[in-house]
Amino acid sequence: MWGSKVNLTAQDALVIVDVQNDFCPGGPLAVATGDEVARTMTRVALAFNQQGARVYATQDWHPAGHSSFQESGGPWPPHCVQGSQGAEFHPELNLPFDHEIIKKGNDLSVDAYSGFLDSNLEERLKAAGVTRVFVGGLATDYCVLNTVLDACRIGFETYLVSDAIGAVDVHLGDGERAIEAMVGAGAKTITLDDTVA
């Protein structure tokens, strides 16, 4: 745990991963704590915005018949289909007016667990001069995990907002193992309280 307040600047970015209806209670790939994650992430986004940091939100944006869907031989039920209500952000995820949306998973054949895959997130962060990224959202054991691992691999100083994530836990303990993998790759963990000025 960070243990003290983080001093945020315009070189910092919050990356909110896939806090969408289909990944929250009532959706086909629901994370049980999705509603709470949306509310917590709203508070984190406000803290970042108030301190001049940047806020990005990734959005799974699959075409119908995407390769990750069971009907196409993939592992998941249809989810986050472009233009559907399920693909919309959770209604309690309130983002600052100047946030940026990163759509991913447009390519029919690319699963795009990571916010950096099949998107221009890396280019946009680098163009904005971002050096530190803070990641939270859904789900810990899939899209958050892969986004954090890619952020570390690319070379960003990377933090996991540990109280603004939730796991699918297809296999019991997947979420905890994902956190261990992220920390093992070099990510540090912080909480909402660490980001509030």
Q: Which residues are catalytic?
A: 18, 104, 143
On the CB side of 103, CA atoms within 13 Å amount to 11
Long-range contacts of 81-85 (CB under 8 A, 24+ apart): 82/106, 84/22, 85/21
Q: Round to whole Å and give the CA distance between 114 and 60.
A: 10
Host H or E run for residue 113? none
Among 159, 156, 148, residue whose Cα is nearest residue 181:
148
**Which residue intervals of 51-173 are DSSP H helices?**
121-127, 145-154
Residue 74, CA distances (Å) to 65, 67, 70 in order? 10, 6, 5
Helix (H, G, I), strand (E, B) or coil at 121: helix
DSSP code, position 16: E
Backbone angles phi, psi at 57, to 5 degrees: -125, 120
- Helix (H) or strand (E) holding 12, with range, is strand 12-17
